[in-house]
């Protein structure tokens, strides 16, 4: 539950109660933007020299409103984002390395070479800089923009250890002009590519935090944004969670949906494959984007596709497993009987001991492990952060962290933690936290930083200052998250830190 400029995210999707959407067109851009941006060959000054994601264009327009007094209706703003994303967006291959930033993946860790790492990725994600393409002139002007809008940038702690502006204008601007130029073969090819309509049925698999692994079927109706989406998600125990909402499609592949799933508002930031038959991305709680999970999907009827199973692993004995996918009428299994259904195929198992059941349909293959024991555990993610929050009306609420316990078998070498280990899948575990080191124990971090829930969700404490801690410190801390199951134990590192007060769509 993070504080964010909700208009920036929500404005990417028109609500059902909004007026009819404005027509996304170059004429609308001219009418709205030409009072400040002058005409030039191929468009308007500054605008025509850039390409961005939908979130990038939304952030630009909101900045025009906040910093330059632009007056624009929500409908016109959405329409301009649609038009600019479609005509001056990024190709799928250009966004692929940095989608973690669009998906707000709380566990992503960046690594960039110098000087880009220190010059750009100190204040915001490196992905934010690389999720845009510009002319060489525009990249140079972008360096000037930083100093113009943040005049202390050369004097604050992240800039005063170097000649920031000089390096930015010489080394960084030229590097980005070469790395991310305005004109690329990838963008030219994507604009010319045939694109399938997104409408139709989609089979998906994901994890609903606090509820469990889930599969579903979503139906998309419409000919243009906003599309109507309806369907349901089903968990391993057979519980159903109806889904409904709206989706905008940008740049021919950028899926942005706001859905109600079983009474909880979710956000989907997904990408269609270039052939239009697959979906991949992240789905998360709209009020708390740390609570989410990867989501993959396949267009119903697009050949034989296996996305995975729910559950991802089963204890030995009798079990019903949903093989999630499409085109699985002829699913053949090495064990058990399969029956096709609208989510793929149901597989009835009665397996003993430790083993793996394999199955296939056409060229699609998959497997599921059944187990009576595990050789080791793994906690995923191995490292992440949570944030304290609340405690006042003005502050952001706490940001939790979500963990899963993964069962493992030693591979042929008989050793845990080596490359030939076999991943079994998610298994039930008991969760605890411990102080990460001596200083954490001295500060009693386990008492103040928050508590671990049986579902694997860590709930941080409210924000401080806390008079019960030394120096009235905040309720931050450094913890080991511990999972125990079937005689095995594993742990992960959790940093509980302070609030994030500014939370743009691309951090």
Please give the average pLDDT of every successive group of 10 residues along the chain, which has 507 residues. Answer: 40 49 78 90 89 97 93 93 96 98 96 94 95 97 92 80 91 96 98 97 97 97 96 97 98 98 98 98 96 98 97 95 97 95 96 94 96 96 95 83 96 87 94 97 96 97 92 94 97 96 91
**In this predicted structure, what is the pLDDT of residue 393?**
67
> Which of 434, 432, 408 is CA-nearest to residue 422?
408
Long-range CB contacts (< 8 A, 24+ apart) of 284-287?
284/103, 284/104, 285/209, 286/9, 286/258, 287/1
Domain 312-371 has CATH 2.60.40: yes
In the chain, where the domains are located:
6-190, 200-299, 312-371, 376-497
Structure token digits, residue 480: 């080991």
The residue length of the chain stands at: 507
Q: Phi and psi for 251 in degrees, rounded to 5?
A: 60, 20
Look at domain 376-497 and name its CATH class.
Answer: mainly beta
CB atoms within 10 A of CB 426: 20
The neighbouring-strand residues paired with 452 are: 458
pLDDT for position 411: 85
Instruction: Say which CATH superfamily domain 200-299 falls into.
Output: Quinohemoprotein amine dehydrogenase alpha subunit, domain 2 (2.40.128.120)
Question: Which pLDDT value is given to residue 12?
Answer: 60
Helix (H, G, I), strand (E, B) or coil at 342: coil
Place of tokens 């009235």: 472
The answer to whether the 200-299 and 376-497 domains have the same CATH topology is no
Per-residue pLDDT, 371: 95
Torsion, Cα of 27, 31, 36, 37 (10° steps)? 10
Tokens standing for 488? Answer: 């095995």
Please tell me the predicted confidence (pLDDT) of residue 502. Answer: 87
pTM of the model: 0.92
């Amino acid at each position: 539950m993070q504080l964010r400029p909700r208009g920036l995210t929500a404005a990417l999707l028109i609500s059902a109660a909004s007026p009819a959407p404005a027509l996304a067109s170059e004429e609308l851009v001219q009418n709205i933007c030409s009072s400040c941006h002058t005409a030039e060959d191929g468009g308007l000054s500054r605008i025509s020299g850039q390409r961005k994601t939908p979130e990038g264009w939304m952030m630009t327009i909101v900045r025009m409103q906040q910093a330059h007094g632009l007056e624009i209706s929500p409908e016109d703003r959405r329409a301009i984002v649609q038009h600019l994303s479609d005509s001056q967006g990024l190709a799928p291959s250009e966004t692929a390395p940095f989608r973690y930033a669009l998906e707000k993946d709380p566990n992503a860790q960046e690594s960039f070479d110098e000087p880009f790492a220190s010059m750009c990725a100190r204040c915001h994600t490196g992905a934010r800089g690389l999720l845009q393409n510009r002319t060489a002139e525009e990249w140079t002007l972008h360096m000037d923009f930083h100093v113009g809008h943040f005049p202390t940038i050369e004097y604050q702690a992240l800039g005063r250890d170097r000649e920031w502006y000089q390096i930015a204008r010489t080394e960084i601007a030229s590097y980005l002009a070469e790395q991310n130029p305005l004109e690329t073969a990838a963008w030219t090819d994507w604009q010319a590519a045939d694109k399938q309509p997104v409408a139709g049925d989609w089979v998906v698999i994901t994890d609903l935090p606090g509820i469990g692994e889930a599969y579903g079927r979503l139906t998309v109706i419409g000919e243009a944004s906003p599309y109507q989406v309806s369907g349901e998600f089903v968990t391993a125990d057979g519980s159903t969670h109806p889904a409904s909402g709206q989706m905008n499609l940008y740049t021919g592949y950028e899926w942005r949906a706001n859905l109600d799933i079983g009474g909880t508002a979710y956000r989907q930031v997904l990408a269609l494959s270039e052939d239009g038959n697959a979906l991949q991305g992240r789905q998360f709680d709209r009020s708390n984007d740390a609570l989410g999970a990867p989501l993959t999907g396949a267009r119903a009827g697009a050949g034989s596709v296996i996305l995975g199973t729910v559950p991802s692993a089963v204890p030995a004995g009798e079990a019903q497993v949903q093989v999630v996918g499409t085109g699985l009428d002829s699913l053949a299994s090495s064990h058990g009987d399969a029956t096709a259904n609208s989510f793929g195929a149901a597989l009835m198992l009665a397996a003993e001991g430790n083993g793996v059941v394999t199955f296939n349909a056409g060229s699609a293959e998959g497997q599921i492990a059944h187990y009576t024991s595990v050789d080791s555990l793994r906690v995923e993610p191995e490292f992440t952060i949570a944030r304290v929050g609340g405690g006042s009306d003005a502050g952001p609420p706490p940001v939790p962290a979500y963990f899963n316990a993964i069962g493992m078998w030693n591979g042929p070498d008989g050793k845990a933690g080596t490359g030939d280990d076999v991943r079994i899948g998610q298994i039930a575990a008991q969760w605890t936290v411990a102080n990460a080191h001596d200083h954490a124990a001295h500060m009693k971090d386990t008492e103040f930083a928050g508590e671990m829930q049986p579902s694997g969700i860590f709930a941080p404490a409210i924000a401080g200052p806390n008079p019960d801690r030394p120096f009235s410190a905040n309720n931050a801390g450094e913890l080991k998250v511990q999972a125990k199951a079937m005689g095995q134990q594993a742990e992960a590192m959790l940093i509980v830190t302070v609030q994030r007060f500014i939370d743009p769509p691309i951090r």
